[in-house]
Structure 1
Amino acid sequence: MRIKKGDKVQVITGAYKGTIGEVKQAFPREDKVIVEGVNIVKKHQKPTQQNPDGGIIEKEAKIHVSNVMLYDEKAKAPSRIRYEIRTNKEGKKEKVRIFKKSGTEVK
């Protein structure tokens, strides 16, 4: 999965199409992510000791990773990514994600 926690993504299909948000959590085994402000669902909470009133809360639900793309700040558009293997200052090789549109490194 090419999308990680903390990445800025744009929803490309569905009811939230065009929405830009940050990935809160990634689930690589399920190929799903939770994006801030996207796929809001209402959940009924039973009363507990921490929340004696219970009630209905709104929270973000998982969305399939194929419905989002990494958002490129420089190009101001969603972009695919490519990988490049570079050597860092210590001489170790590291895999780096790079936007295809602008050629900048994914932060």
Structure 2
Amino acid sequence: MKLKKGDRVVVISGKDKGKTGVIKEVLHKENKIIVEDVNVRTFHVKPSQKDQEGGIFKREAAIDASNVMYDIGSKKEQKTTKIGYKYVDVRGKKVKKRIAKKTGDEI
């Protein structure tokens, strides 16, 4: 998976289409990600010895990684791109770097 924690992404399909957020967690085995303020679900928690109060809580649920694209635009303007790789020579060693396919800039 080419997406990493901390990347800003745009949701391209689903009920939250068009929303922008930062990746909080990447679930590699399931090919899913958790994005801040996207796909918010309500959870009902029963009181237990650990959590005396219980209650109704909201938190983000995972969405499929194929439903988002990397965002290279500003916060006002959404500009998406695919992510590619490029080998760069650093002090005689080849280092693999992520690049934005549209612009060719390093991420």
User: What TM-score, normalized to structure 1?
Assistant: 0.89
Query: Shift of the alpha carbon at 1:82?
Result: 1.5
Aligned to 1:88: 90
Q: Classify the secondary structure of the residue corresponding to 1:18.
A: coil
Give me the whole-angstrom Cα distance separating, in 1, the residues matched to 2:104 and 2:88. Answer: 14
Give me the whole-angstrom Cα distance separating, in 2, the residues matched to 1:96 and 1:34. Answer: 24
Q: Classify the secondary structure of the residue corresponding to 1:25.
A: strand
Q: Classify the secondary structure of the residue corresponding to 2:99.
A: strand
Query: Shift of the alpha carbon at 1:101?
Result: 1.5
| Superposed CA offset, 1:26-57 (max 9, x none) | 01111000000000001111213453110010
Q: Classify the secondary structure of the residue corresponding to 2:58.
A: strand
Q: Classify the secondary structure of the residue corresponding to 2:16.
A: coil
Aligned to 2:14: 14
Aligned to 1:101: 102
Instruction: Determine what percentage of the aligned residue pairs are the same residue.
Output: 44
Aligned to 1:67: 67
Structure 1 stretches lacking a partner, 5+ long = none
Q: Which runs of 4+ in 1 moved over 2 A?
A: 48-51, 73-76
Structure 2 stretches lacking a partner, 5+ long = none
Q: Classify the secondary structure of the residue corresponding to 2:66.
A: helix
Asked if structure 1 preserves the Cα contact closer than 8 Å seen for 2:9 and 2:22, the reply is yes
What is the alpha-carbon root mean square deviation over aligned residues?
Answer: 1.6
